[in-house]
Amino acid sequence: MASAELGSSGALLRVLALLLLPGAAPAFKPASIGWSPSSTVRGTLTASDYKTLYYTQKTDHFGFDEDSSFKQRYLLADKYWNKDGGPILFYPGNEGDIELFCNNTGFMWDVAEDFQAMLVFAEHRYYGQSLPFGADSYADSKHLNYLTSEQALADFVVLIRFLKESIPGAGNSSVIAIGGSYGGMLAAWLRMKYPDVVVGAFAASAPIWQFEDLVPCDSFYDIVTNDFTKSGNGCSQSILNSWNAINRVAVTDEGIQWLSSTFHLCCPLQGKDDIGYFKSWLTETWVNLAMVNYPYEADFLQPLPAWPVQVVCKFLSNPSLDDKTLLQNIFQAINVYYNYSGNTQCLNISQAATASLGDKGWSYQACTEMVMPFCADGVNDMFEPQPWDFKSYAEDCFKQWGVTPRLTWITSEYGGKNICSHSNIVFSNGGLDPWSSGGVTKDITDTLVAVFIPEGAHHLDLRFRHPDDPESVVRARELEIKYMKQWLRKTRSSL
């Protein structure tokens, strides 16, 4: 498996690498949940909804030695755009194929007509088709040297300038950045660093404070645990008990074989060393379930039923069973995540989410700039105790990528909590989303505002409208639209 080259705490690193998954689910399945798409409710896009275009970017915006360039992919939809002053809603792509974010940011498609807006989705360098050195982009740390958030933001700024200069009428269009998760962090940072380029930013589920000691390192896993505790009696306690059950079963080779067959693993666990990977894959599965705990059937990381954590918890109501019975129930529970479609032959512990995500690239980013401390204690949360240990984290990074992470760079570059001099950013967060741990959940000033969605998982508000949306997300979107319109009005009146 890919992660086998990691060191002792490699398991932890692997979890981190996959955590910052992007947006909401692609197409849900209207037919299966008993409603039909109408002019106001839509759930899918087709390729004819947008144009796929490419722009030649400098590989290095900040130095003059590296003179190469590459093609950045972007998607553009102008069906509703009013050439006479209509705005541009700009999605700064995150760590994956830009089509994934385009498909999953229904909010932008839902508001395009009302705003008479052009939509642009720009791919993040080193992901999807936007590879600075083609197939060699990930060859070594030399080729990866230009994978930073600063370079990505510079790409977006250069692209916006090009669009405004080259598209007739766009020169007068105000630009609003909209993004989710890491894309939301980029949207917020775009506004902070380049306020003349974007008039405002809507940053959904953007954990801009998940760095250094800005938030406690255990709050992320606490939120995951709360989701399971609230979703069924005995649920989080069963998961907590499962770790020692695994440890006890795995003391014998026969027990390890039993785990492999009980969990229908594609590749049997090869002895004790694999137990760590197995447990981190389970951890990742619980985290992902919490992230996509949406109120209706959806298909983002995996196809899932409505409120999937409740469905999972039905199998985990009794925490005090013997080890093997408990673990059989754990299998039933994770099979909701991996086999809701009924088409899964076996479970692959190297894979916990869609292949459209660039988990390799994110692993590199986590090993350079994006150092996010996480920890668990097994008391206030349902995970095995896992202290935050920067030293071993850094050693793993060096082993894997030949680079040393810079723990304090992001807060130096983007200001940490000292951002009150900025303006026009809406930060939205969901109460069910583990990433709300590092998000801005209280207003900072009149124009740096927080929108909180108690029933929301990972940027639920960015998804297409849906009949089963909780009232809180409907209200949140209304507020977000209100703020965006305010920014546009203010900009127009100051011209």
Q: Is 4 in the site for ligand NAG (CB under 6 A)?
A: no
Query: Which of 139, 266, 420, 474 forms a contact with ligand NAG (CB under 6 A)?
Result: 266
Give CA–CA dist 200/483, Å, rounded. 9
- CB of residue 378 vs ligand NAG: minimum separation in angstroms? 28
Helices and strands, number each (H, E), in the chain:
15, 10
461, 107 in Cβ contact below 8 A?
Answer: yes
Phi, psi of 202 (to 5 degrees): -110, 110
Concerning whether 396 is annotated as a catalytic residue, the answer is no
Concerning whether 433 is annotated as a catalytic residue, the answer is yes
151, 62 in Cβ contact below 8 A?
Answer: yes
Q: Interaction with ligand NAG in 330-349: which residues (CB under 6 A)? A: 335, 339, 342, 344, 346-348
For ligand NAG, give the closer residue by CB, 339 or 491. 339
Q: Is 264 in the site for ligand NAG (CB under 6 A)?
A: yes
173, 119 in Cβ contact below 8 A?
Answer: no
**Residue 4 corresponds to which tokens in the numbers above?**
């086998």
Give CA–CA dist 54/265, Å, rounded. 41
For ligand NAG, give the closer residue by CB, 99 or 369. 99
Query: Which of 134, 171, 385, 467 forms a contact with ligand NAG (CB under 6 A)?
Result: 171
Determine which one of 458, 461, 466, 469 is catalytic.
458
For the purposes of burial, counting CB atoms within 10 Å of the CB of 24, is it exposed (0-12), middle (13-18) or buried (19 or more)?
Answer: buried
Query: Which of 9, 94, 103, 242 forms a contact with ligand NAG (CB under 6 A)?
Result: 103
Q: How are beta strands 51-58 and 69-77 bridged, if at all?
A: antiparallel
Determine which one of 130, 149, 174, 181 is catalytic.
181
List of residues 6+ apart from 64 with CB closer than 8 A: none
- CB of residue 176 vs ligand NAG: minimum separation in angstroms? 18
- CB of residue 171 vs ligand NAG: minimum separation in angstroms? 2
Determine which one of 359, 433, 461, 469 is catalytic.
433
226, 232 in Cβ contact below 8 A?
Answer: no
Total binding residues for ligand NAG by CB under 6 A? Answer: 25
Contacting range for ligand NAG; rule: CB under 6 A; set: 33-41, 44-52, 56-64, 230-238: 44-52
Residues that bind ligand NAG (CB under 6 A): 26, 44-47, 97, 99-100, 103, 169, 171-172, 264, 266-267, 335, 339, 342, 344, 346-348, 350-351, 356
Question: So which residues are the catalytic ones?
Answer: 181, 433, 458
